Structure 1
Amino acid sequence: MTSFKTLDDMTLSGKRVLVRVDLNVPMANGVVSDTTRIERILPTIREIVHQGGKVILLAHFGRPKGKPVAEMSLKPVVRPLSELLGQSVDFASDCIGQPAADAVAKMVDGGVLLLENTRFHAGEEKNDPAFAKALAANGDVYVNDAFSAAHRAHASTEGLARLLPACAGRTMQAELDALNAALGTPKRPVLAVVGGAKVSSKIDLLENLVGRVDMLVIGGGMANTFLAAQGIDVGKSLCEHDLAGTATRIMAAAKAAGCEIVLPVDAVVAREFAANAPSETVALDAIPADAMILDVGPASIAHVSEKIDAAATLVWNGPLGAFEIAPFDTATVAAARHAAARTKAGALLSVAGGGDTVAALNHAGAAQDFTYVSTAGGAFLEWLEGKELPGVAALESE
């Protein structure tokens, strides 16, 4: 991985530091309902404050489509941010122009200011040079601490980095270090666990991984498409039959690259997708025509656990079954806990990410024991697909 500058490379005392953060937090009745993303940016803010820099926070919220929308103001974030940070945070009613300039001019060293939603301006998502320049007018240094927005070439994620001395914040740095350890220069063998409903949404991901990992476990509804491509009758299971050719091509590419593909060897089936629906474990050649696969069976769980034991590095994206409802969460929970235990024992480096993945690992009570769990959905997936992330590329040292 190309090297990038961090806060260690910057002198921040007395400087106006524009920090791009992810404050796209869930809200309920105008109040922040989950502060996870706020908590993740605190180390970077505190470090700049400690050095005597002026912290000027840039963030987007929702999709206001380039114009001010009252319900998408960042103002409700000020209070929880102030409380978690332990110091008052000021707010400016715009991210550029006079309101921003006036608020920045009033700042003292070590102060923190949150600017209004960058997406209230059409120039943000268009990466308009004039808008990026207007943002840069309020800063001396640019810090990107929003990996989750790094797959977008927007003014506040990419354009700004070209105009000011730029570096990665601590959250961005931790994410990039974790990803590099998982797929950049990993300790082998590397195991990838990829689940989820559809192959169609993860073709690029699978095609990139078969050339980079030693073992690839395919679970969830995706596995049904691979099984069907091998001539197995999957009954009424979720299955993209029209992608049989794609599945066959991916398996051929894996074989050529020396990557072992691990598919289910048994299945848990039910007639309806409902909590505690009557279910049974069957062999793959005995799936009833009127039933659907909702989880993998005990033999498959044992097989996945063996692969986790054999691996030095694990990359995980997506559940193995319909984990949202019992008892079809059994395989995902068992595998997640096994990987967590191996990680805790120091035998495995484990990196996981993607919306469903984070929810599944939290459900299993395993997330805290993984080496790193990314909260960046789209950016994490695009990185797994081998795509360049504009917000990261803009930080790379020459």
Structure 2
Amino acid sequence: MAQFNTIDDLDMDGKVVLTRVDLNVPVEDGRVTDATRIERIVPTVKDIQAKGGIPVLLAHFDRPKGQRNDAMSLRQILPALEAALGQPVKFADEIVGGAAKRAVAALAKGDVLLMENTRFYPGEEANDATFAASLAALGSVYVNDAFSASHRAHASTEGLARLMPCAAGRLMEEELTALQSALGAPSRPVVAVVGGAKVSTKLDLLSNLIEKVENLVIGGGMANTFLVAQGIEVGKSLAERDMADTAREILAKAQTTGCTIHLPVDVVVAREFKAGAESETVPVTACPADAMILDAGPQTIGAIGNVFTKCRTLIWNGPLGAFEIEPFDAATNAAAKVAAQLTSEGRLISVAGGGDTVAALNKAGVAGEFTFISTAGGAFLEWMEGKDLPGIAALTNSPEQLQRFPQS
């Protein structure tokens, strides 16, 4: 991974610091219901202030598609943001133009300004050069603390980094360091857990991982497709039968790269997909024709645990079963607890990410025991796929940026 600057590398004293953060949090009836993402930007804001900088926060909320929409205004985030930061936060209704300039000009050291939803402006998602330049004119330094939005080449994630001295915020720094330790230069052996419903949505991911890890555990509905590819009947289970050839290609490629793919050896089946449905555990080759596979069985859980104990690094994306409802959360919960225990013993570096994954680990009560949990969804997945993330690629140009934009 190319080198990137951090907050420690830039002179911020007395300067307006345009700070891209992720405030795309769940809101119901105008109230934030989960402030995790807000809380995770606090170290960056506080450290900018400690260096004498004045943070001006840029963020998106939902998908207004370039149109102003009061229901998607960041103003409703203010109370939760003020609570997290422990101070009043000013708000600007506009992010470019005279009103925006006046809002920034009125700031003093110690202040924090939150600007309106960047996606109210068509120039944001178009990464329009004029729009990016208008944003850049508001400040002297740019900090990106929104890894979760950095897979998008938008004006506030990629465009600004091309125009200003730039650095990674504390959360971004933590995220990039953790990801580098998981796949860039990991302690080996490495095991990856990939779950979820469909092989078709994770083809790039699987193809990348089998070249980089020693062990790949496949769970969820994806595993059923691989079972079908091996001629195993899965009854009424979710499976992409038209992806069987692709699954066989992945299995064959794994043999050439030295990656061992681990599939279920026993499964939990039921006739209904609902909480508390009557279920039974059967060998993977014995799924009844009228039943569906909803979780991995105890033998599979034991085998996964054995793989974990032999590895030094774990990267996890996706649940092993229908974790949302009991009793089909058993495999995900059990495997997560093994990973957490090994991590707490210092025997495993564990990195996990993706919406369902974070929810599953929270449900298992072990998220706090993993080495690092990424709150990013698409960005985490694209990183696992080996893709360049525009917002990160722009940041890694920062040594040149500093030469082009000398600090005064």
Considering the TM-score relative to the shorter chain, is it more than 0.5?
yes
Q: Which residue in 2 is equivalent to 1:120?
A: 120
CA positional deviation for 1:202: 0.7
In structure 2, what is the Cα distance between the partners aligned to 1:184 and 1:23?
A: 28
In structure 1, what is the Cα distance between the partners aligned to 2:169 and 2:286?
A: 53
On the 8 A contact 1:75/1:116 being kept in 2, the answer is yes
CA positional deviation for 1:118: 0.8
In structure 1, what is the Cα distance between the partners aligned to 2:387 and 2:18?
A: 26
In structure 2, what is the Cα distance between the partners aligned to 1:118 and 1:255?
A: 46
CA positional deviation for 1:99: 1.4
CA positional deviation for 1:84: 1.6
Q: Which residue in 2 is equivalent to 1:356?
A: 356
CA positional deviation for 1:371: 0.2
> Where in structure 1 are there 5+ consecutive unaligned residues?
none
Map 1:376-391 to 2 at 5 A.
Answer: 376-391=376-391
Q: Is 2:217 the partner of 1:217?
A: yes
In structure 2, what is the Cα distance between the partners aligned to 1:146 and 1:49?
A: 18
CA positional deviation for 1:285: 2.1
Q: Which residue in 2 is equivalent to 1:97?
A: 97
CA positional deviation for 1:187: 0.3
In structure 1, what is the Cα distance between the partners aligned to 2:231 and 2:33?
A: 47
CA positional deviation for 1:98: 1.2
Q: Which residue in 1 is equivalent to 2:20?
A: 20
On the 8 A contact 1:143/1:166 being kept in 2, the answer is yes
Q: Is 2:305 the partner of 1:277?
A: no
In structure 1, what is the Cα distance between the partners aligned to 2:292 and 2:80?
A: 45
Q: Which residue in 1 is equivalent to 2:192?
A: 192
The amino acid that maps onto 1:205 is: L
In structure 2, what is the Cα distance between the partners aligned to 1:383 and 1:351?
A: 13
CA positional deviation for 1:122: 0.3
Q: TM-score, normalised by structure 2?
A: 0.97
The amino acid that maps onto 1:140 is: S
Could you give the per-residue CA deviations for residues 342-374 of structure 1, whole angstroms, max 9, x where no partner exists? 000000000000111001000111100000000
Q: Which residue in 1 is equivalent to 2:153?
A: 153
Map 1:283-298 to 2 at 5 A.
Answer: 283-298=283-298
CA positional deviation for 1:79: 1.9
Q: Which residue in 1 is equivalent to 2:32?
A: 32
In structure 1, what is the Cα distance between the partners aligned to 2:222 and 2:162?
A: 40
Q: Which residue in 1 is equivalent to 2:243?
A: 243
The amino acid that maps onto 2:190 is: V
The amino acid that maps onto 1:295 is: D
CA positional deviation for 1:247: 0.2
Q: Which residue in 2 is equivalent to 1:392?
A: 392
In structure 1, what is the Cα distance between the partners aligned to 2:3 and 2:252?
A: 34
In structure 2, what is the Cα distance between the partners aligned to 1:352 and 1:135?
A: 34
CA positional deviation for 1:110: 2.3
CA positional deviation for 1:312: 0.1
In structure 2, what is the Cα distance between the partners aligned to 1:322 and 1:77?
A: 32
Q: Which residue in 1 is equivalent to 2:328?
A: 328
Report the 3-state secondary structure (helix = DSSP H, G, I; strand = E; otherwise coil) of the residue aligned with 1:394.
helix
Structure 1: 4+ residue segments shifted above 6 A: none
In structure 1, what is the Cα distance between the partners aligned to 2:316 and 2:271?
A: 29
In structure 2, what is the Cα distance between the partners aligned to 1:20 and 1:285?
A: 51
Report the 3-state secondary structure (helix = DSSP H, G, I; strand = E; otherwise coil) of the residue aligned with 1:55.
strand
Could you give the per-residue CA deviations for residues 15-34 of structure 1, whole angstroms, max 9, x where no partner exists? 11000000111111112121
Between 1:65-74 and 1:208-217, the stretch displaced more is 65-74
Q: TM-score, normalised by structure 1?
A: 0.99
In structure 1, what is the Cα distance between the partners aligned to 2:394 and 2:386?
A: 17
In structure 2, what is the Cα distance between the partners aligned to 1:370 and 1:339?
A: 8
On the 8 A contact 1:48/1:110 being kept in 2, the answer is no
Could you give the per-residue CA deviations for residues 144-197 of structure 1, whole angstroms, max 9, x where no partner exists? 000000000000000000000000000000000000000000000000011111
Q: Which residue in 2 is equivalent to 1:373?
A: 373
The amino acid that maps onto 1:193 is: V
In structure 1, what is the Cα distance between the partners aligned to 2:130 and 2:23?
A: 24
On the 8 A contact 1:51/1:110 being kept in 2, the answer is no
CA positional deviation for 1:315: 0.3
In structure 2, what is the Cα distance between the partners aligned to 1:67 and 1:286?
A: 54
In structure 2, what is the Cα distance between the partners aligned to 1:357 and 1:134?
A: 38
The amino acid that maps onto 1:356 is: D
Q: Which residue in 2 is equivalent to 1:73?
A: 73
On the 8 A contact 1:354/1:377 being kept in 2, the answer is yes
Q: Which residue in 2 is equivalent to 1:144?
A: 144
Report the 3-state secondary structure (helix = DSSP H, G, I; strand = E; otherwise coil) of the residue aligned with 2:200.
coil
Map 1:331-342 to 2 at 5 A.
Answer: 331-342=331-342
On the 8 A contact 1:53/1:111 being kept in 2, the answer is no
CA positional deviation for 1:231: 0.5
CA-atom RMSD, angstroms?
0.7
CA positional deviation for 1:320: 0.6
CA positional deviation for 1:77: 1.4
Could you give the per-residue CA deviations for residues 284-312 of structure 1, whole angstroms, max 9, x where no partner exists? 22211111111111110110000000110
Could you give the per-residue CA deviations for residues 224-270 of structure 1, whole angstroms, max 9, x where no partner exists? 00011000011111110000001000011111000000000011111
In structure 1, what is the Cα distance between the partners aligned to 2:2 and 2:259?
A: 26
Between 1:30-39 and 1:148-157, the stretch displaced more is 30-39
Q: Which residue in 2 is equivalent to 1:204?
A: 204
In structure 1, what is the Cα distance between the partners aligned to 2:356 and 2:229?
A: 25
Question: Number of paired residues?
Answer: 398
The amino acid that maps onto 2:17 is: V
Report the 3-state secondary structure (helix = DSSP H, G, I; strand = E; otherwise coil) of the residue aligned with 2:269.
strand
